[in-house]
Amino acid sequence: MSTLSGKVALVTGGSRGIGAAVALRLASEGAAVALTYVQAADQAREVAEKIEAEGGRAVAVQADLTRPDAAQRMVEQTVRELGRLDILVNNAGFLTYGPLADVTTEELDRVLAVDVRSVFLSAQAAARHMEDGGRIISIGSCFNGRVPGENFVLQATAKSALIGLTKGLARELGPRGITATLVDPGPIDTDMNPATGDSADFQRSLTALGHYGQAEDIAAAVSYLAGPGGRYITGTALAVDGGYTT
């Protein structure tokens, strides 16, 4: 039997990149998957169709997590359509890059809304429905451990908040056997951070392994934490960064 057979997972930002790889991986292990998108409806549908073509169950859900009500709505839709919720993967995000002096209040609010507030509200909504023994896994960043240059002040601020949030969730939900963990990626080749981009050589030079990772590398870590091997791992982060934070 597959390790996640009978489980239901909700993956935010599952239309592309890391989220799509996570959705496909969890489905390949037997989970039914709800995956969210904002604009990439076609890509989200393709991921869902691929899961169904391989015998799985998937639903694509539109959720713009800049909106405060979106987290609760997507959780409720997942439970309504797939029957329960066992695994929440907070993956949705976008890259912000630029000097401190240029960060506007609007940009600050937008980044904190998606990278922090929506993770908080999604976990809060999920905890109301989640089965005992569930998993809350958030995608952080190697900027949680190291900020190797200027222009990342906003990204580092937002992602670092997830450390405290994850530890708080672990304490609060631990009595129900629900774990809360962070996966902190290094440079991963996606639309957000292509391995052919302007700063790619610099990012490669900061890793111990000397190259970008693939979305599937992050999906493998999420899959481990979501599965039986992750049951005693909580309140902590796993760096999947090629040695970026070494």
Given the rule CB under 6 A, which residues bind ligand NAP?
Answer: 12-13, 15-19, 37-40, 63-66, 91-94, 114, 139, 141, 185, 187-188, 190-193
Task: Please report how close the Cβ of residue 132 comes to ligand NAP at its closest, in angstroms.
Answer: 27
User: How big is the CA angle at 15 (ends 14 and 21), to the nearest 5 degrees?
Assistant: 55
Task: Please report how close the Cβ of residue 217 comes to ligand NAP at its closest, in angstroms.
Answer: 11
DSSP state of 245: T
Distance CA 209, CA 84 (A): 40
Q: For residue 53, give the H/E element and its range.
A: helix 41-53
Task: Please report how close the Cβ of residue 218 comes to ligand NAP at its closest, in angstroms.
Answer: 7
Q: Which of 3, 45 has the CB closer to ligand NAP? A: 45
Q: Which of 64, 131 has the CB closer to ligand NAP? A: 64
Amino acid identity at 118: S
Give the residue from 216, 243, 236, 18 showing the smallest Cα distance to 146. Answer: 243
Please count the residues of the chain: 246
Contacts of 1 (CB under 8 A, 6+ apart): 30
Task: Please report how close the Cβ of residue 96 comes to ligand NAP at its closest, in angstroms.
Answer: 9
Contacts of 245 (CB under 8 A, 6+ apart): 142, 145, 146, 184, 186, 239
Distance CA 64, CA 36 (A): 9
Q: Which of 131, 216 has the CB closer to ligand NAP? A: 216
Task: Please report how close the Cβ of residue 130 comes to ligand NAP at its closest, in angstroms.
Answer: 20
Q: Which of 141, 234 has the CB closer to ligand NAP? A: 141
Q: Which of 17, 227 has the CB closer to ligand NAP? A: 17
Q: Which of 3, 66 has the CB closer to ligand NAP? A: 66
Task: Please report how close the Cβ of residue 13 comes to ligand NAP at its closest, in angstroms.
Answer: 3
User: How big is the CA angle at 243 (ends 92 and 96), to the nearest 5 degrees?
Assistant: 35
Chain position carrying tokens 């998606």: 114
Q: Which of 22, 31 has the CB closer to ligand NAP? A: 22
Task: Please report how close the Cβ of residue 115 comes to ligand NAP at its closest, in angstroms.
Answer: 7
Amino acid identity at 176: R
